[in-house]
Amino acid sequence: MYQLETNCIHGGYSPKNGESRQIPIIPSTTFKYESTEQMGRLFDLAESGYFYSRVGNPTCDHVAARITKLEGGAAGILTSSGQAAIFYAIVNLCKAGDHLICTNEVYGGTYNLIAVTLKKFGIESTFLSVNSTNDEIKKAIQPNTKLIYAETVSNPSLAILDIERFAKVAHENNLPLVIDNTFPTPINCQPIKYGADIVIHSATKYLDGHSSLICGVVIDSGKFNWECDKVRFAELCEPDESYHGLIYTKQFGNIAYIVKMIVQLMRDIGACNSANNAYMLGTHIESLPLRIKKHSDNALAVAKFLEGDKRIKSVNCPMLPSSKYYDLAKKYLPNGICGVISFELNASKEKTIKFLDSLKLISIATHVADAKSCALHPASHTHRQLSPVELKAAGVSEGLIRISVGIENENDIISDIKQALDIAFS
């Protein structure tokens, strides 16, 4: 019933009389019980309660509940990293012999996980552009396809997904749409509103926002009907032998997906987070609405400055009318996107490196999405191993710079870019 800003502060934790106002840190691996019988019921999932922090910790659960509330989901969990969240989100539905569809425009780590590592596990994939037509998406669907995966705003190319269109094609074919909503955060876009079924985050980015911890989140909208195709979703609709033949959809209804993830994947794989990390994340989320607005405003101011400078060849920022994603950005992200933008200098590799090395306030770092502005030269850093021909195919020119605009004063950031341009072009 409250608005987003209020839920960032109060969501997921309501202290009772005399209890701590802040979410308490419970750094305990284990929880005590008075009877053998009761502990047995917990292991049978006949009763709920904490017993071992790998499968559940109160601090982690409060923070997961806060983010779930912000996304408008039914239930969610914290994982050890964003990568772990993506792995769980996929493997909760896919086993060897299964298939998934993923957009081309995704984070490099996601691409490697799906194209290389999951392939070794026998999980096949088809990659297609966010600009694919409905027919092209439909053609990629196979009888063994289990999900469609995409990013709201892609890292680093900043492509914007037409969430409603992808959700429609997915649902017409009995498939869930899994969305990585890391860049906009639930403050700027809530994919579940537009039909996403599962939302994941690298909370390492804006949710934390201070480059102080690694954490992931998986959120279940509770809206997908897994029983629409009991063969396709046998993982949820058929008995689980590791729980005496329990059927998740029967026992846990609309949150079957997330419950299975906790009691099976967390139990067996163990990519959980710590109470200390969760506490810090929960606290940092309190200021998220203020921070993400400043990130978006600063990024737009920097993008406008760059667009007006002759030494700049092109600027990639979907908040600018010149972007081919401007209309989609206006529809799904009317209040702003995030702090990440990229641009191309009208210059050789040497001049581009000189520009980067002349920055004083903006630091050279591979991270994105925290309070401090930072910059990266993909041709020298993330895409260093690629040949000039491969760089061209990947759309990475020698003059390309990616900036994660922080929340410092916007004029200080722009002045820093200006003085570095003056040195590079002198």
Contact between residue 232 and residue 224 where contact means Cβ atoms under 8 Å apart: no
CB-based contacts of 176: which residues, under 8 Å, 6+ apart?
93, 147, 148, 170, 197, 198, 224
Q: Which of 53, 59, 132, 155 is the binder for ligand PLP (CB under 6 A)? A: 155
189-248 residues in contact with ligand PLP (CB under 6 A) are: 202, 204-205, 214, 216
3-state helix, strand, coil in the chain (%, to 5): 40, 15, 45
Residue 110 engages ligand PLP in binding (rule: CB under 6 A): yes
CB of 1 or CB of 116, closer to ligand PLP: 116
Tokens of 84: 């772990």
Q: Which stretch binds ligand PLP (CB under 6 A): 75-83, 126-134, 312-320, 322-330?
A: 75-83
Residue 151 engages ligand PLP in binding (rule: CB under 6 A): yes
CB of 107 or CB of 279, closer to ligand PLP: 107
DSSP strand E in 166-268: where? 177-180, 198-202, 216-220
CB of 174 or CB of 211, closer to ligand PLP: 211
CB of 202 or CB of 397, closer to ligand PLP: 202
Q: Which of 56, 76, 82, 399 is the binder for ligand PLP (CB under 6 A)? A: 82
List strands edge to edge, sheet with 124-128.
Answer: 75-79, 216-220, 198-202, 177-180, 145-151, 99-103, 124-128
Nearest to 251 by CA among 47, 37, 34, 2: 47
Residue 107 engages ligand PLP in binding (rule: CB under 6 A): yes
Q: Count the residues of the shown chain that bind ligand PLP, applying the rule CB under 6 A.
A: 15
Buried b (16+ CB within 10 A) or exposed e, 136-148: ebeebbeeebbbb
Q: Which stretch binds ligand PLP (CB under 6 A): 107-115, 320-328, 351-359, 398-406?
A: 107-115
Q: How far is the CB of 370 from ligand PLP (least distance, A)?
A: 11
Q: Which stretch binds ligand PLP (CB under 6 A): 18-26, 105-113, 164-172, 221-229?
A: 105-113
What are 202's strand-pairing partners? Answer: 216
Rounded Cα distance, 78 and 261, in Å: 11
Binding site for ligand PLP (CB under 6 A): 81-83, 107, 109-110, 151, 155, 180, 182, 202, 204-205, 214, 216
